[in-house]
Amino acid sequence: MDQNLYRKIILEHNESAFHFERPDTFDVELNAQNQSCGDSFDIYLSIKKDPGTEGSYIEDIHFTGSGCALSKAVTSILLKKIYRKSLIEAKTVIKDYISAMSSDDNTLPIDDELLVFIPFRDKTSRKECCLFSASTILKYLES
């Protein structure tokens, strides 16, 4: 992927983030913070039982807060990717993303839209911008 495309995707999600608003109702509120720079997002999830299975799914998901363009874009894309997914599917998407961001192995499975963040895995200060929201959501999903 070329640098202009990276920039374009990140700027689009920074300027027009997916569900960047506080919802009227929600079941869970998570606070994701990047301790190294002060970026902070509140993530709101509505979790519902899936009538066809014994599992649950993310019926709705939103976020608010402030952060750099990179952290806001990755949070926006991650939320879009797990929206309306079962909790098991959401956990897989996030684990795959975190694994890809934490490894030099370019063969790991990762959603195409999340590939835009791979170049930042080698930049220590920016890597945390790409991971703190994902880590917060995964911690909740694994609890």
Tell me, what's the pLDDT at 120?
87
Break the chain into its structural domains and give their ranges.
3-141
- Distance from the Cα of residue 110 to its chain's centroid: 13
Tell me, what's the pLDDT at 28?
97
Tell me, what's the pLDDT at 90?
97
**Mean pLDDT per 10-residue segment, the chain (143 residues):** 76 94 98 93 96 89 96 96 96 94 78 84 87 97 94
Asked if CATH classification 3.90.1010.10 holds for the domain at 3-141, the reply, yes or no, is yes
Whole-structure pTM over 0.85, yes or no? yes
Tell me, what's the pLDDT at 1?
53
Tell me, what's the pLDDT at 72?
96
Give, in degrees to the nearest 5, the angle at Cα 10 between 42 and 105.
Answer: 95
Tell me, what's the pLDDT at 2?
66
Give, in degrees to the nearest 5, the angle at Cα 83 between 82 and 88.
Answer: 45
Given the DSSP bridges, would you call strands 40-49 and 56-66 parallel, antiparallel or unpaired? Answer: antiparallel
What six digits make up the tokens of 33?
A: 């913070």
What percent of the chain is helix, strand and coil (3-state, nearest 5)? 50, 20, 30
